[in-house]
Amino acid sequence: MSRISGGQIDRSQTLRFSFDGVSYTGHPGDTLASALLANNVRLMGRSFKYHRPRGAISAGSEEPNAIVELRTGARQEPNTRATVTELFDGLSAQSQNRWPSLKFDAMAINDRLSPFFAAGFYYKTFMWPAAFWEKIYEPIIRRAAGLGRLSKQDDPDAYDKGFLHCDLLIIGAGPAGLSAALTAGRAGARVILADEDFRMGGRLNAETLEVGGTSGADWAAQSVLELASLPNVRLLPRTTVIGAFDHGIYSAVERVSDHLAQPLPGKPRQILWRIYTKRTILAAGAIERPIAFENNDRPGIMLAGALRAYANRWGVAVGEQVAVFTNNDDGLRTVNDLQAKGLNVTLIDARKGDEVIDSAGRLGLKSITIRRANGKTETIHVSALGVSGGWNPNLNIASNHRGRPVWDDTIAAFLPAPESIAGLTCAGAAAGAFSTHAALTMGVAHAIAALADLGVTATADTPSAEDAPLNLTPLWYVHSGKGRAWVDPQNDVTVKDVKLAKQEGFVSVEHLKRYTTLGMATDQGKTGNVLGLAVMAELTGKTIPQTGTTIYRPPYTPVAMGALAGRARGADFKPTRQTPSHKWAEEQGAVFVEVGYWLRTQWLPRNGEPTWRQSVDREVLQTRKSAGICDVTTLGKIDIQGTDAGAFLDRVYANNFASLAVGKVRYGLMLREDGMVMDDGTTARMGQNEYVMTTTTANAVPVFRHLEYCRQVLWPDLDVQLISTTEAWAQYSVAGPNARKLLQKLVDQDISDAAFPYMACGAVTVQGSRARLFRISFSGELAYEIAVPTRYGDAMIRALVEAGREFDAVVYGTEALGVMRVEKGHVAGNELNGQSSALNMGLGKMVSRKKDAIGMVLSQREGMTAPNGYRLVGVKPVNPAESLTAGAHFLVKGATATADNDGGWLTSVVYSPHLGHSIGLGYLKSGDNRRGERLRSVNLLAKTDIEVEIVSPHFFDPEGERLRG
């Protein structure tokens, strides 16, 4: 029976759980590790490289060995630390990295072959021949790599993200964190106290020490109660602060539901908090480190503090016969506490020259061999050994901004560098103050200081507690025996590996890490790094600080990918934007395409149209023949007003805008300052000082940003005001020979060519409702764009369709829109590629050199104006039965398909139902002078190579007679 008296578990309730298919019981308050140990299960996993049998060595998040696959099915999670897994009824866990079973693992043969698997094994073995890298070596390495298995199913749980604000963030709720929180909380400051454990109190829960005359655990519980009663204090148990970012931003993962079989309905499994704080106290305690000796990795060999924690907090004795191997006074606490529990404890005090030199027990510790100071060796039977090589302040977070830790000889450990992160101080064991008294005092003092910075006065009220020194004499590894002594048990890095690294010249700490994989496992070297460093220092005859330091990057402990994704998964990956005709289009069975966040109608299949081309061809032909309606709401709309609005437009557009009359629209070409085309669109002058600019769908936001930049940064005294109206108006294009007749049925005013000529704009009404009308065309047809307040957008599409019935009008989508614009030779996204100038697009003459518009000067650069540069051309296949391929490159006949011979490329390709063959637009060197030339169009990816003819980009109605009709 391993359960002993005492502890903070609720023995009135029994929880059932299973490990590797065997059922056990535990109690609320247990972790999976404590419950397994209570059931005499010491063997919990296998190591990464040698598949050595392993058990828990710690009782916290630093655990390198006891990592398991938790849960089953879609919720199965690999590499879960049993030492921090809160036990719940029905918990199911499996050991990992073993086959066929934990007790008999075929891969344990690696252990016998260990001479071959020393540090650098992969580098040395899988070097040549290079041809083997991808096909042979990588699969072998990948099969051997990795610890747990993924379920390969979708994570069924939800994860939230959230934002918290406070004056003081306290990381860790041990004695220092609690005393800091009490001090700041009582002073009225906004405090967040976060602790990764489900029970706050830190080491106080694992010790038999007193605080203020009561047991430390009771004092912690009372403190938590008081803090919970303060409205200005937020307690975040089960919450790991995973990183410090700039200017007081911290990231934390709250495990809301991990202690339940599954989250309650609607609840997230975890929350990723972004915490904004003015000051921070890192009170994350310290992590004990082992002493390396031969075969120091057997299940049952633990850190001395963990052995004591299992006894004191969880009422678990890992064995009746126990030994403690320590180089400091803290190890003696384990001896005392276990003896008080009635266990038989042997002390091996390294400070007296006694050492543990070996251990035995294949699947769990059976005996240890001790060499006493007088040279005598003895073997004693024990089932547990607690080892203490000292404590390393848990400075992980404090080094996130590269602040180099500072060595302290008194405790033989690194301390966090002072002011390593602005606004953060370290208190308690995290600052190297190991006694309870020091932790409490420091927590209080740091809280007072932090609040004083913020202008808040707090008062000290520090309870009494022990103030014993550590009395440590460094001992890193036992110089005895030829066997392996583990430094980093998870990645199987031994003292020998460190020696080999030194021998082969990898002495710097960064090289040591990469050559041996020291500290690169899921625990990131929380127990092993400093030990490895110390061994290297000893081997090289340097001091530890001379050898190097290790710093840490976020996250502090592994984070589920789901927590980083939050709700942004699957259908919720990003928001969608719906056009005003969306509901109607959905009813019609429209096919939608994502354009940024927008969902636009791509085409509207009718019955009997099994292929998309049939729908698109019909939409194009019918628009050109009669009338077509298209939702163009997604184009960006920017309202530009002010007495200088016209002058402003003249500077942001390359072409002339000063002469635009009220009631008229003009096409505008916008350049970047480097002379390349940024965007294009139309701008309508709605009044003396009022304009409406349209942008391409994709550039609505960047163009708005650019305009704000121009008016605030470049010309701060221009009287111009801007606001986006993209969403305010539902805008439909009505195009085709019958467009006017169709629209006249709905618009209350006369829209005849005389009353509303080409490029006119103005306010109208649609059946009494306010509207805006623009006579502009993208399709090349007689066309209008009609805008109504968005709330009427649904009614408007229905009214247009109804009015168009007598003309057999169609509603067309983005595909037909694309066909018609290529037929007309209008540039769009494929041509506006950020690398093309107005000249490249055949719009060079639009760039006015009589005014200082953005991009004008650099558009005239040598190179940009070279006559042999790219020019927009039309392209058609010589054989009309052949199809062009977008992205194909132009080659003169007989030239090989190399980059040197590349003459340009096809940017846009469509099938023109009007012409009955494939057509395209492209950029061709000296394209203006090459009409009629026949070239090859080669796409090596699509494996197409066809003969094409270079033609005018205006395939349809080149004179523009139709749109003026």
Partner 1 sequence: MIINHPLLGPRDSQEFIYLGDAALIHRPDGMAEGALERFVDYTYLRDNPAGSHRELWYHEQGDRSWLVVTRDTTTHEITAVEMARDVARAEGRSK
Partner 2 sequence: MANALKPLTPLGHDAPQSDTIGAITITENPNTALASLAARLGREAEVASLAAAAGIPLPGPGQSEAAATYGAIWLGPQQWMVEAAFATHEDISAILKPIFGEAASITEQTDAWVRFDVTSTTLPALFERLCSFDLHKAGAGAATRTVIDHLGCYVIRRTDTRVTILGPRSSAHSLHHALTTAAKALS
- When asked if residue 863 is in the footprint of partner 1 (CB under 8 A), the reply is no
- When asked if residue 789 is in the footprint of partner 2 (CB under 8 A), the reply is yes
Q: List the end-to-end C-alpha distance of the chain, in Å, as a whole number.
A: 98
- Which C-beta is closer to partner 2: that of 690 or that of 957? 690
- When asked if residue 248 is in the footprint of partner 1 (CB under 8 A), the reply is yes
- When asked if residue 673 is in the footprint of partner 1 (CB under 8 A), the reply is yes
- Which C-beta is closer to partner 1: that of 140 or that of 249? 249
Smallest distance from partner 1 to CB 248, Å: 7
The count of residues interacting with partner 1 (CB under 8 A) is: 30
Smallest distance from partner 2 to CB 691, Å: 11
- When asked if residue 164 is in the footprint of partner 2 (CB under 8 A), the reply is yes
Secondary structure letter of residue 8 according to DSSP: S
Rounded Cα distance between 318 and 316, Å, is: 6
Residue among 158, 144, 145, 148 at smallest CA distance from 82: 148
Smallest distance from partner 1 to CB 754, Å: 40
- When asked if residue 422 is in the footprint of partner 1 (CB under 8 A), the reply is yes
- When asked if residue 577 is in the footprint of partner 2 (CB under 8 A), the reply is yes
CB 292 within 8 Å of CB 486: yes
- Which C-beta is closer to partner 2: that of 642 or that of 887? 642
CB 408 within 8 Å of CB 432: yes
- Which C-beta is closer to partner 1: that of 496 or that of 711? 711
CB 117 within 8 Å of CB 494: no
- Which C-beta is closer to partner 1: that of 638 or that of 742? 638
Of 94-102, 192-200, 597-605, 851-859: span binding partner 1 (CB under 8 A): 851-859
- When asked if residue 642 is in the footprint of partner 2 (CB under 8 A), the reply is yes
Which listed residue (852, 880, 897, 961) binds partner 1 by CB under 8 A? 852
- Site map (CB under 8 A) of partner 2, residues 253-272, x = contact: -------------xxx--x-
Which listed residue (224, 654, 839, 853) binds partner 1 by CB under 8 A? 853
3-state secondary structure of 144: helix
Of 49-57, 169-177, 287-295, 576-584: span binding partner 2 (CB under 8 A): 576-584
Rounded Cα distance between 233 and 256, Å, is: 18
- Which C-beta is closer to partner 1: that of 320 or that of 673? 673
Residue among 587, 641, 591 at smallest CA distance from 613: 591
- When asked if residue 725 is in the footprint of partner 2 (CB under 8 A), the reply is yes
Of 99-107, 149-157, 688-696, 708-716: span binding partner 1 (CB under 8 A): 708-716
Smallest distance from partner 1 to CB 437, Å: 36
- Which C-beta is closer to partner 2: that of 290 or that of 762? 762
Rounded Cα distance between 911 and 884, Å, is: 9
Smallest distance from partner 1 to CB 720, Å: 10
Q: Which does 689 bind (CB under 5 to 8 A by kind): partner 1, partner 2, none?
A: partner 2
Smallest distance from partner 1 to CB 558, Å: 24
- When asked if residue 643 is in the footprint of partner 2 (CB under 8 A), the reply is yes
3-state secondary structure of 808: coil
CB 23 within 8 Å of CB 31: no
- Which C-beta is closer to partner 1: that of 545 or that of 596? 596
Q: CB atoms < 10 A from the CB of 460, how many?
A: 11
Q: What b-and-e string marks burial along 776-807, b requiring 16 or more CB atoms within 10 Å of the CB? A: bbbbbbbbbbbbbebebbebbbebbbebbeeb
CB 366 within 8 Å of CB 344: no
- When asked if residue 274 is in the footprint of partner 2 (CB under 8 A), the reply is yes
- Which C-beta is closer to partner 1: that of 246 or that of 900? 246
Q: Which does 860 bind (CB under 5 to 8 A by kind): partner 1, partner 2, none?
A: partner 1
- When asked if residue 506 is in the footprint of partner 2 (CB under 8 A), the reply is no
- When asked if residue 601 is in the footprint of partner 2 (CB under 8 A), the reply is no
Residue among 444, 530, 521 at smallest CA distance from 490: 521
Smallest distance from partner 2 to CB 158, Å: 7
Which listed residue (24, 506, 784, 792) binds partner 2 by CB under 8 A? 792
Which listed residue (198, 276, 612, 758) binds partner 2 by CB under 8 A? 276
Three-state DSSP string of 649-670: HHHHCCCCCCCCCCCEEEEEEE
- When asked if residue 718 is in the footprint of partner 1 (CB under 8 A), the reply is yes
Residue among 97, 64, 99, 100 at smallest CA distance from 82: 64
Smallest distance from partner 2 to CB 748, Å: 6
- Which C-beta is closer to partner 1: that of 118 or that of 858? 858
- When asked if residue 565 is in the footprint of partner 1 (CB under 8 A), the reply is no
Cα-Cα-Cα-Cα torsion 889, 892, 897, 903, nearest 10 degrees, comes to -40
Q: CB atoms < 10 A from the CB of 215, how many?
A: 16
* Long-range pairs, 589-598, Cβ under 8 A, ≥24: 590/813, 591/813, 593/813, 593/814, 595/634, 595/697, 595/698, 595/814, 596/697, 596/698, 598/634, 598/697
- When asked if residue 247 is in the footprint of partner 1 (CB under 8 A), the reply is yes
Of 36-44, 485-493, 565-573, 895-903: span binding partner 2 (CB under 8 A): 565-573
Q: CB atoms < 10 A from the CB of 618, how many?
A: 19
Which listed residue (103, 574, 705, 791) binds partner 1 by CB under 8 A? 705
- Site map (CB under 8 A) of partner 1, residues 624-663, x = contact: --------------------x--x----------------
CB 495 within 8 Å of CB 487: yes
Residue among 845, 871, 874 at smallest CA distance from 954: 874
Catalogue the E-assigned strands of 82-189. Answer: 91-94, 159-171
The count of residues interacting with partner 2 (CB under 8 A) is: 64
Rounded Cα distance between 14 and 5, Å, is: 16
- When asked if residue 865 is in the footprint of partner 1 (CB under 8 A), the reply is no
- When asked if residue 858 is in the footprint of partner 1 (CB under 8 A), the reply is yes
Smallest distance from partner 1 to CB 705, Å: 6
Q: List the beta bridge partners of residue 621.
A: none
Written as six digits, the tokens of 129 are 């021949």
Hunting for tokens 């061809």 — which residue is that?
617
CB 892 within 8 Å of CB 940: no
CB 932 within 8 Å of CB 881: no
- When asked if residue 716 is in the footprint of partner 1 (CB under 8 A), the reply is yes
- Which C-beta is closer to partner 2: that of 266 or that of 916? 266
- When asked if residue 944 is in the footprint of partner 1 (CB under 8 A), the reply is no
CB 748 within 8 Å of CB 764: yes
Rounded Cα distance between 1 and 37, Å, is: 10
Interface residue list for partner 2 (CB under 8 A) = 158, 160-165, 190, 266-268, 271, 274, 276, 567-568, 572, 574-579, 582-583, 597-598, 633, 639, 641-644, 689-690, 717-719, 721, 723-730, 748, 765-770, 788-796, 799
Interface residue list for partner 1 (CB under 8 A) = 245-249, 276, 422, 644, 647, 673-674, 701, 705, 708-709, 712-718, 851-853, 856-858, 860-861
